[in-house]
Amino acid sequence: MTPEAGPDAILFDIDGTLLVTGGAGAAAWRLAFQELHGVEVDIDDHTTAGMTDPEIASIIFREVLGREGNTEERSRAIGCYLKHLPEAVAESGGYRLMPGIERLLPTLIDRGLLLGLVTGNIEAAAHIKLARGDLNRFFSFGGYGSDSADRTEVTEAALRRGVLVSGGGLGDGACIAVGDTPRDVRAGHGAGIQVVGVATGKYSVVQLREAGADWSIETVDNGFPI
């Protein structure tokens, strides 16, 4: 894909692809369930990378509290999570941007590419995480965990918004996704787009290639296909 070929777009996952929060998300979930239900929760014991926030809430209710949780309870849990997340992100000693991201994003913008997000984070959480790294300014649209608990549907939502933002100029093959988990790969393919697997999260180049990534690279500094 090149700017000369048309109004191209690239969708980026957040956690493990653009940045890591150093456990800030897990800390916010722990504080939320401690405050609301008086239980200690470590989401790493119950979830895997690439899950959406609605999936995480459902799993915590089911596996820790032993019930599904009604709509009001889940809404309160997500609201309380968001209440604690800004401070958790601000205070995290492990927050960092992934290698090459600070160089890549402005380069893509300067080349006329449209950048979006495709993330399991609910929309507010996504922007809280990006804000500390000053990354919100690069992304004009996105698909979020608040659109669906299903990652393929999240990707489809991002693509629809990309068409709107671009003025309807995104045709078949004009968009690719970038992610760090097999879930990201499956979601992109489920939505009909190619996926760059980047091994900056918990999965290796080999694992991402085996998951079907169209490109599998160590970091965006090495072999990014744009």
Q: What parts of the chain have a pLDDT lower than 50?
A: 1-7
Query: What is the reported pLDDT for 55?
Result: 82
Q: Which pLDDT score, from 0 to 100, does residue 7 have? A: 37
- Alpha-carbon distance of 83 to 198, in angstroms, equals 31
**Cα–Cα distance, 101 to 17 (Å, whole number):** 9
**What is the average pLDDT value for the chain, to the nearest integer?**
90
Alpha-carbon torsion (187, 47, 56, 126), positive or negative: negative
Per-residue pLDDT at 54: 83
pTM score, two decimals? 0.90
User: What are the tokens at 6?
Assistant: 């048309």
* pLDDT tens-place string over residues 94-116: 999 999 999 999 999 999 999 99
CA torsion sign, 183 to 208 to 118 to 192?
negative
